[in-house]
Amino acid sequence: MIRAYLISIIFFALTGAGYTQEIDFGDYGNYTLTADELNNDDLNFGQVITNSGNHSIDINNAKIVQITGVKYLDVIVEVTAENALFLNGNTGYAGDVQKSLPLTLEAAYANNAGQPSLGQAKIINVATNNFTKQFPILERQSRPPGPPPPPPTNEFDQSRVEETAYLYIYGSINVGDVDAGSYSSQITVTISYD
């Protein structure tokens, strides 16, 4: 009786930790994925004066990353960035208010068919400067999802099922009573198929 009781506890524990089913098609095909910088201009806030407050680079002047891959698939975009720009790029100044400029990142993506425009961009809710966002390379229409992509074979021509999505990275800095000099930091954007 005791034994039966134990087995049932284990059974419920196992079923309680059940998983939703998800098939990540991107994991099972050798599809190529490219990420290119559309504009070579990085996020440069230019010359700013101490105590001048907020300086923004809006979406119209954002850094644009062009993501090209199989249009049926989702990509996961992982953005990793410091919360500030540091004097001479020295991350050792993290927390030093006199040698750092707080950075607030913003991001959006466009995955419409054809050439996406800024007006179609979808804002990503960025709570911190480190965030992850998943979206399909081509926006799904309001109908049931289509069939999975054909598995890559010798006959498979990815260019026939390719589409391009665009990622926009922009944001603002706050310039307080800091030391004069060059401030910099880096944002790493990692893109992979779901």
Partner 1 sequence: MKNWNRLYHLLSVAIGIFVLCALPKAALAQDRDVIIDVSAEVTSSIELITLQSMELAAEEAENNIINIDPTSSPNAGKMVALGNPNSEIRVSYLQTRELASAENSETLTFNYLVSGNQEEDQNTSELLDLENRDFSFNQDGEFYLWIGGSVDISTASPGNYQGEFTLEIEYI
Q: Using CB under 8 A, list all residues that contact partner 1.
A: 27-37, 42-52, 55, 63, 65, 67, 81, 85, 101, 103, 169, 171, 173, 175, 178-193
Q: Which is nearer to partner 1, 8 or 44 (CB)?
A: 44
The Cα-based distances of 192 to 6, 24, 77, 157, 182 in angstroms read 43, 12, 7, 20, 33
CB of 20 to partner 1, least distance (A): 19
Minimal distance in Å, beta carbon 192 to partner 1? 5
Least gap, CB of 55 to partner 1 (angstroms) = 7
Amino acid at the residue 171: G
Spatial neighbors of 3 by CB under 8 A, at least 6 apart, are: none
Tell me the torsion sign for CA atoms 140, 146, 151, 154. negative
Residue 120 or 184 having the CB closest to partner 1: 184
- Closest CB to partner 1 among residues 45, 131: 45
CB of residue 46 to partner 1, shortest distance in Å: 7
Least gap, CB of 112 to partner 1 (angstroms): 21
**Nearer Cβ to partner 1, position 48 or 118?**
48
Q: By C-beta, is 14 or 180 nearer to partner 1?
A: 180
**What six digits make up the tokens of 4?**
């039966």
Q: How far apart are CA 43 and CA 21, in angstroms?
A: 40
The letter for the amino acid at 34 is: T
Q: Which residues contact 113 (CB under 8 A, 6 or more apart)?
A: 138, 139, 163
